[in-house]
Structure formats: C-alpha cells, structure tokens
Amino acid sequence: MVKQKEKLKQRIVATLRALGILGTAEGVKFALAWCRSRADNAAYAAENPAFARPPAYGMFEAYSYTSYRAYVASGDETAAFIEGLVRRHLSLSLPVVAEWGCGLGRIVKPLRQRTGWSVAGFDYNAASVAWCGRNIQGAAFLENGLYPPLPCADGAFDVLYCISVFTHLPEDLHMAWITEIARVLKPGGILIASFHSRNVADRLLDGEAAQFNAGNMVVRGNVRVGGRLFVAYHPSTFIKNRLLQGFEVLEVVENPVSSMTQTVYVARLSSPGPVDPQRK
C-alpha cells in the first residue's frame, strides 16, 4: 500500500515535470509549508533572540521545509556525523575543511562551532552565499559557478564534504566536479559525499528502474540544474567504479542521521592530481 502510494506520487511528479509546471506546484507547497511553520518559527525566534533567521524561501529551496527548528536540529546532527567521520579517517587535529554546496550554512555553522576547524562554504547560489557571509561568523563563504572551478588553490583542503549536491546534478557535471574536488583536496585528503543510492527502488518508475539496475545514473530534469527539483539517482556501481575512480572508498553509511535517508561515501584521494574528466 505504502509502495503503491509512493509510485502514484512519483507518477504525478513526473507528469508535472513533463508539463513544465513542477515549479508552480512547488510554489503552492512552499506557501503551505510557510503557513505551517510560521507560529513555531516565531516562538523559536522569541526563545532564541540571537538566532540568525534564514530566509524562508531559501530554506525551502534547499531543504523543502521552512522550519527553524528543523534547520538547527538537522544541521547539528549532520555536523556531528561529519565530525565523527573526519576524526575516524584523518589523524589531523585541525583539518582544513570545505563544504561544496553549503546552502544556508546549516552544517558549516555547527561544525565550526563544535570543532573550531577552519571551514569554508561554497555554493553557486549567490543569495545563499551572501546570507551566510552576513550571518555566520568564523567561516569563509564563496560563490562558484554551476561548472567548476572553485575559487581556491590546488590542494587547499584536507576534507571536502558535499551533502545532497551530486543528487541535483546531471552526469557531465558529476565528472567535471569530481575532477575539481580532486584538484582542491590535498593528496590523501578525504571526500565525504551523499547520494540517492540505496532504498530508491520504490521511487523509480519502470524505465528508470531498468536503467538504474543496469548501473546507469537516473536523472530527472526539465527544471533548473542544481536546484532541489533536479534529481539524480546513483547506482553503487556508478559511484564506485566511475565517479570515485582515483579515490579509495573507506566507508559507506546508509541513512546516516535521522534527517537524511541518503547514502554517504567517505573516500580518500589516492592518486594525486585531477582525474580525467572524459573518462566513462
């Protein structure tokens, strides 16, 4: 029954996407989410007068909710999870860390606060980067384009993490960005990246499931590339054998925190220098 409901939902979304009106439907969803969270957001802001309130539409665009409490709680638990992975796989006491696709600094802020590490956030959304720069102290925020490069030197970071970013990009951008990530990581540096990989069977429609099971990415577009509505699903063979060539996979974590059902890969850059973007 639950599976049937999910498939029906996916069919409706596919139809709206094909008609080019998914964005309009999302506008309605945003209005409903905003109404639902308004009273609790006001209460949260009153309880926490120093809290920098993220813009409602920016939150919805990145996270599909508009709740301050969800932004803070999910950011805290994800930052704790990232900290644990870094400590487990790197022996540095003060690693230099980047988040690519940092959105409204949901993770950067608590990660910086709990560790004191040097953390930089990058995003292609100029408004998010500007908001983070004005409202989050102790971290650098920089804008990049949809395509590489990141505005930083080769080998600038010990760790780069990206949560729910590859999940919104087409295949050519996966290859371009993994090459760029290899450039900005130090040799032996760590990549932490999340994917829609396991437990996606219920969401895939018939043709998509065949494509996925054959080891190919499934991409749902017809909306702005890099936005939340642009969705990519990643078979594990694609991640391990194609995307992460040149990296050694150290750990794979399913459903890492209560607020995220994606699969997280932790991988060490094993061959220094950029990876060939043309490889298939």
Ligand X SMILES: C[S@@+](CC[C@H](N)C(=O)[O-])C[C@H]1O[C@@H](n2cnc3c(N)ncnc32)[C@H](O)[C@@H]1O
Contacts with ligand X by CB under 6 A lie at: 62, 100-103, 106-107, 122-125, 128, 144, 146, 163-165, 168-169, 226, 228
Of the candidates 62, 207, 195, 203, the residue with the CA atom closest to the CA atom of residue 132: 62
Question: In the complex with ligand X, which residue's Cβ is closer, 95 or 101?
Answer: 101
Question: In the complex with ligand X, which residue's Cβ is closer, 96 or 127?
Answer: 127
Question: In the complex with ligand X, which residue's Cβ is closer, 7 or 53?
Answer: 53
d(CA 276, CA 219): 22
- The secondary structure element, H or E, covering residue 252 is strand 247-254
Question: In the complex with ligand X, which residue's Cβ is closer, 112 or 168?
Answer: 168
Minimal distance, residue 267 CB to ligand X, in Å: 17
Strand 185-195: give its sheet, edge to edge. Answer: 140-143, 118-123, 96-100, 157-162, 185-195, 263-269, 247-254
- To which residue do tokens 């080769």 refer? 154
Q: Output the CA angle 127-130-131, nearest 5 degrees.
A: 85
d(CA 129, CA 103): 7
Minimal distance, residue 36 CB to ligand X, in Å: 20
Question: In the complex with ligand X, which residue's Cβ is closer, 168 or 196?
Answer: 168
At residue 19, what is the residue type? Answer: L
Minimal distance, residue 253 CB to ligand X, in Å: 15
Minimal distance, residue 198 CB to ligand X, in Å: 18
Minimal distance, residue 91 CB to ligand X, in Å: 26
Minimal distance, residue 209 CB to ligand X, in Å: 24
Question: In the complex with ligand X, which residue's Cβ is closer, 226 or 272?
Answer: 226
The three-state secondary structure class of 175 is: helix
Q: How many residues are there in the chain?
A: 280
Question: In the complex with ligand X, which residue's Cβ is closer, 7 or 44?
Answer: 44
The three-state secondary structure class of 101 is: coil
Minimal distance, residue 244 CB to ligand X, in Å: 18
d(CA 49, CA 91): 38
d(CA 186, CA 160): 10
* Bridge partners of residue 74, in order along the sequence: none
